Amino acid sequence: MIQLFSNSLGDKELSAIKKVFKSKWLGFGKETQTFQKNLGKRIESPNVLCVNCATAAAYMAMKILDIKKGDEVIIPSINFAGCSNAIIDSGAKPVFADVDTRYLNIIPEEIERLRTPKTKAVLILHYGGHPCDMSGIFQHSKGLKIIEDSACALVSKYKKKNCGTLGDIGFFSFDGMKILSVGDGGAIVINDAKLIDKAKEIRYMGISNRQSGIDSYKDGKKRWWEIELNNTSNRFTPNDISSAIGNVQLKKLDYFIARRKEIWTIYQKEFSGIQNLIIPPEPLPNTKSSYYFYWLTIPEKRDELAHYLVSNGIYCTFRYYPLHLIKYYKYKGSLKNSEKVNNDVLNIPIHQNLTDNDVDKIINTVKKFIKKFL
């Protein structure tokens, strides 16, 4: 089966892990501090904190921005449930917005339509690595906090500025399916430097001025085991095992993106002009994509194409199932575009481990389906 997602881990990552094992320090330590620094350099932000996953970063964002009971957060329905869960668990209400049917990103005018005096923030997603229309978002979200779900957009750029650094808070994912993979992990970017200390506390159970007991002893603290809390929180820290992998993966990132773009370009050429098949748009002008997803739109025959591909050894799916259709959220109403793409759009494999033969097979199988059934 040709997989939809894949990671590229090898001997260099194993060697980095071996060094961590030899150090006998597996938790948050020097490797994580180095990874934070290296990642910050890559995305040109000094305010990067590594966390144990992107969902943790979404939960942290709510607490950092003091989003609480009675507040509302606008979020595109095409997004991952972890983000809406973070809003709900903060006590706030997720307000689901519709998306553009081509880019699958939030329609900026939806923010204006949905905002109320209770609205405190907008949580956007850069779908598939294609940056949102940020100028429109800024225009319609004045006075609101902007949180960027950049899980798909690690090195995507909007007007030469990295996604994840455009709003008030941004976050990334490094799980086993992402372009840069550490097994499970993530990072959060806080663009207001005044909030960094608060973010660090929230990352580690609310403990203020956190440092190891050994460091406290070296600093001359008489009782180095004492702690204080400024708030209560969960534990969202990563470890040096995953961070050691991350430091190696960062060095491979340019190749990962280049290969993904190469495959994207082949798909765009081969699928262009086929009747009843709509290819995804190129990134907006003055933007750069990470090419995390490739998606085909095939009205009325999407499910049949999905089953045909899987039966021929090519895994595919649709990401993300519209949040407003999840029964648990009890949404009343309709979001026309989100429901349309849920019926018509299919993600097919695009990753750096696809061989040329894999790519040819995917293209030929899609074309055979079109010829046979449409």
Kindly report, residue by residue over 42-53, the tens digit of the pLDDT: 999 999 999 999
- Residue 126: name the closest of 105, 145, 100 by CA: 105
How many C-beta neighbours within 10 Å does residue 21 have? 12
Q: How far, in Å, CA of 305 to CA of 277, rounded? A: 11
Residue 40 Cα distances to 162, 191, 210, 247, angstroms: 11, 12, 21, 12
Kindly report, residue by residue over 283-318, the tens digit of the pLDDT: 999 999 999 999 999 999 999 999 999 999 999 999
Q: What is the pLDDT of residue 212?
A: 67
Q: How far, in Å, CA of 321 to CA of 147, rounded? A: 20
What's the full length of the chain, in residues? 374
Residue 251 Cα distances to 24, 26, 197, 256, angstroms: 25, 22, 29, 10
Q: Residue holding tokens 């000094």? A: 46
Q: How far, in Å, CA of 158 to CA of 43, rounded? A: 12
Print pLDDT tens along the chain (374 aa): 999 999 999 999 999 999 999 999 999 999 999 999 999 999 999 999 999 999 999 999 999 999 999 999 999 999 999 999 999 999 999 999 999 999 999 999 999 999 999 999 999 999 999 999 999 999 999 999 999 999 999 999 999 999 999 999 999 999 999 999 999 999 999 999 999 999 999 999 998 866 666 677 777 788 888 888 988 999 999 999 999 999 999 999 999 999 999 999 999 999 999 999 999 999 999 999 999 999 999 999 999 999 999 999 999 999 999 999 999 999 999 999 999 999 999 999 999 999 999 999 999 999 999 999 88
The DSSP-derived string for 174-238 is -STTSSS--SS-EEEEES-GGGHHHHHHHHBTTBTT---HHHHHHTT-SSTT---BSS---B---
